[in-house]
Amino acid sequence: MTTLSDKAKATRKRILEAAIRVFSQKGYHDTRVDEIVEESGSSKGSVYFYFPGKEQIFLALIDEFADLLARRLTEAVAKEEGGVPKVNAALKTCLETFGRYRGLAKIFLIQAVGLGAAFEAKRLEIHQRFAEIVKVHLDQAVAEGTIPPVDSEVVAIAWLGAINEVVIRWVHTGQPHPDRILFTLRTMLLRGIGVREEEIAALAPSAVEYTEKPIDD
């Protein structure tokens, strides 16, 4: 299996970071590959070596964000014991990731909508990937007796829908404040699956850290 050298990885990363800036400012349809070339400071040959066209750059960014989010969620959840603290950690990490990588989040949540079959297939694939992550932890919580039995597949899809709608508004407008989102969403979602009020109340208030960063995590 061919692996990229450190120099090649740095070049690819620079191209993707430039693409985030251009796509975020101009949108998918109005962006030209030449603008990404110019923004990245790379040659046109270098860009086309890694990405045959604009669609491949855009799909690579969606994958980049999905991998980043999955990695951060896995790390955060692994540090917690018990179903409720794991859900809280996952929600907090999700919001922090969307905030810290807002350019990527905008591409992932907003610009990829309605761009055609290839993009919809990719969005569905990623939504399914995260629904499976949520389902696993819901099933674990049921097995532990933390929550009553639920249809974890449907619940996972519903949770992703709720998170998606609130975060899209936040990415667009900066409102509601992420701390409000975290508190309200976790209360609503946990109540919805039968978590006791005292367990929800026992979750320590926590601020969401969302200073924007590049994609080097």
> Per residue in 19-78, pLDDT tens?
988 988 888 888 999 999 999 999 999 999 999 999 899 889 888 888 888 898 899 889
pLDDT at 25: 85
DSSP letter at 209? P
Spell out the alpha helix ranges (H) of the chain: 6-30, 33-40, 44-50, 54-78, 83-100, 102-106, 117-144, 152-173, 178-192, 197-202
pLDDT at 1: 45
Contact 157, 131 (CB under 8 A): yes
Categorize the per-residue pLDDT at 207 as very low, low, confident or very high, splitting at 50, 70 and 90. low
Model pTM score: 0.78
What are the tokens at 6?
């450190």
Categorize the per-residue pLDDT at 115 as very low, low, confident or very high, splitting at 50, 70 and 90. confident
Examine the pLDDT at 79 and tell me if it is beyond 60.
yes
pLDDT at 35: 95
Examine the pLDDT at 142 and tell me if it is beyond 70.
yes
pLDDT at 80: 87
Minimum mean pLDDT range among 35-49, 96-110, 152-166, 201-215: 201-215
Coil, strand, or helix at residue 150? coil
Categorize the per-residue pLDDT at 9 as very low, low, confident or very high, splitting at 50, 70 and 90. confident
pLDDT at 204: 66
